[in-house]
Structure 1
Amino acid sequence: IHPERIFLDPTPLYVWNVPLNTVILGLLAITVPTTLFVLIQILFSLSAWLQLGHKRVTDGNILDNENRNAVYTCIWKNPGTSMRNLSQMLGMNIGTLRYHVGVLYRMGKVTAEQNSGGMRYYVGVGTCSDLEKILAGCLNVHPKIRIINLVLQHPGIVRKDIASRLILSGPNVTWHMRSLTREGIVKSEKDGRNVRYYLRPDVKEYIKAHKSWHLVSGGKGVSGTGT
């Protein structure tokens, strides 16, 4: 993974997520002469230094910033989370969040991995288990999220009931259950003519402990609706 890849996160950055001083400078760059623009830019920088002070970010003080500390802690508690989920959990706009994640990444405090659903973030290097990475990948596949939460709430549920509750076709459920079983998330047990599904104990504990799963299920799971 290369440091520059962190800025390729596909999460949209809208103008209202950009700091006001950046927007103002962008507008001034279009409307005023170059010499005057440079002077205004210097004044903006001096103003920020006077208000906040200039402090070089080092490994020792990187988490002294309250927002950055909150971002780091949230990633630590929710390995494999996305920029969008971080923004929702922290109530922080994407522009500010992207800046702090970038600083943490460049200083080696967090790592980023690209998968089919975009960037996923983890604390440190080599601290994330295979299970965490697999479950993080499931957050990108909505049917899998719904199935996993349903099996969590109804251990021993059979294919017919999963299809009925989630308004999915039987073959579609079978396809996802084979994938989840192969990935070590779900285990199956034969019960006469039926196959019953259960979450593996470590998966169950992980989901109960991490906010990202409560976020995608609205904090209520998926109890029987197809929405």
Structure 2
Amino acid sequence: MKNMTSTREHILQYIKENPGITFRRLVEDLNLGIGTVQYHLSVLEKENLIISKKIGGKRYIFPKEFEKEYEPLIRAISTSTQRKILLLLSEGKKNQSEIASLLKLSQATVNYHMNQLEELNLIKKNRRGRQVIYEANFDVETLVRVISEYRPKLWDKLADRLIDLMLEIKGEEHD
């Protein structure tokens, strides 16, 4: 019984350190069986220690005390494309073509992710004739805080990419 409790405590601690983690990612990161994780999540949810939400076929898991206002941002930044779109929109309004071009994605892919972000109420869209202009519906400082607090590994990756990009630009200036 002690082993089951320590596994459950380990799962709960990992969820607290990674709020908004997907079920699949939790299984992979902890290297546990699907059935084992399902069982312990069920007990944790019955004990009112975690909450889970299913969106777009993925199950997201949060500690019960998780700050509700961050929940949509956590979900969005857990998807690479949506994270990139939010970062682009934090710079200012963009239309779908601009987003597709900057991220080198198809219009259909961008449209799919924009619908997901709109469902999470993280973007606003305004029609100007046939064109749709998207803008952020979140505080940029909050986005930075969520990335740095709840996804520190992600923050490190972004910082590394920024440094690489700056070195690359600096190298081009010297050519």
Normalising by the smaller structure, the TM-score range is 0.5 to 0.7
Q: Which amino acid in 2 is paired with 1:101?
A: L
Per-residue Cα deviation, 1:5-52 (whole angstroms, up to 9, x for no partner): xxxxxxxxxxxxxxxxxxxxxxxxxxxxxxxxxxxxxxxxxxxxxxxx
CA distance in 1, matches of 2:157, 2:29: 12
Letter aligned with residue 105 of structure 2: L
Taking structure 1 as the reference length, the TM-score comes to: 0.47
Q: 1:116 aligns with which of 56, 59, 70?
A: 56
User: Is 1:101 equivalent to 2:41 in the alignment?
Assistant: yes
Counterparts of 1:78-93 in structure 2 under 5 Å? 78-93=18-33
TM-score by length of 2: 0.57
Deviation of the 1:201 alpha carbon: 0.8
Is 1:134 matched up with 2:72? yes
How far 1:97 sits from its partner (Å)? 2.2
2:81 is matched by which residue type in structure 1? P
**Structure 2 residue aligned with 1:20:** none
For 1:147, give the aligned amino acid.
I
CA contact (8 A) 2:44 2:50 kept: yes
Q: 1:105 to 1:183 in 2, by over 3 A?
A: closer
Alignment coverage as a number of residue pairs: 150
Structure 2 CA distance for partners of 1:96 and 1:212, relative to 1, 3 Å: farther
CA distance in 1, matches of 2:147, 2:140: 11
Change (3 A) 1:79 1:102: same
Amino acid at match of 1:134: P
Give matches, 1:10-49, under 5 Å: none
Change (3 A) 1:156 1:196: farther
Contact 2:23 2:58 in 1 (8 A): no
8 Å Cα contact 1:79-1:132 kept in structure 2: no
- Report the RMSD for the aligned CA atoms in angstroms: 4.3
Equivalent position amino acid for 1:82 in 2: T
Q: Does 1:167 align with 2:104?
A: yes
Match of 1:144 among 58, 82, 99: 82
* DSSP-derived class of the 1:79 partner: coil
Q: Judging changes above 3 Å, is the alpha-carbon distance between structure 1 residues 207 and 72 closer, same or farther for their aligned structure 2 residues?
A: same
Alpha-carbon distance, 1:170 to partner: 6.5
Q: Point out where structure 1 has 5 or more consecutive residues left out of the alignment.
A: 1-53, 188-194
More strand by share: 2
Structure-1 separation of matches of 2:118 and 2:99: 15
Q: Which has the larger radius of gyration?
A: 1
8 A contact 1:82–1:121 mirrored in 2? yes
CA distance in 1, matches of 2:63, 2:19: 7
- Tell me, in whole angstroms, the C-alpha distance in 1 between the residues paired with 2:25 and 2:80: 14
